[in-house]
Amino acid sequence: MIRAIGDIAALYSIGLGEMPSFRYELRCAEAGALRIAGIDEVGRGPLAGPVVAAIAIIDRAVAKRKLLRLIDDSKKLTLEEREEAHEAMLASGAVRYAVGEASVDEIDSINILQATFLAMRRALQGMAEQPDLVLIDGNQVPPELGCRAETIVGGDARSYSIAAASIIAKVTRDRYMRGLAASFPGYGWETNVGYARPDHIAALNRLGPTAHHRRSFAPVRMVLEPGLPLEEVAVELLR
Q: What residues does each domain of the chain span?
A: 3-182, 186-238
Domain 3-182 classification at class level: alpha beta
pTM: 0.88
pLDDT for res 226:
79
- Give me the tens of pLDDT residue by residue for the chain, a chain 239 residues long: 333 444 333 333 333 457 899 999 999 999 999 999 999 999 999 999 999 999 999 999 999 999 999 999 999 999 999 999 999 999 999 999 999 999 999 999 999 999 999 999 999 999 999 999 999 999 999 999 999 999 999 999 999 999 999 999 999 999 999 999 999 999 999 999 999 999 999 999 999 999 999 999 999 998 998 776 655 544 444 44
Q: Cα(134)–Cα(113) distance, rounded to whole angstroms?
A: 19
Residue range 139-194, pLDDT digits in tens: 999 999 999 999 999 999 999 999 999 999 999 999 999 999 999 999 999 999 99
pLDDT for res 233:
47
* Cβ contacts of 92 within 8 Å, gap of 6 or more: 62, 63, 64, 67
Q: Cα(152)–Cα(162) distance, rounded to whole angstroms?
A: 9
pLDDT for res 97:
98
Of 222, 68, 39, 48, residue with least CA distance to 131: 39
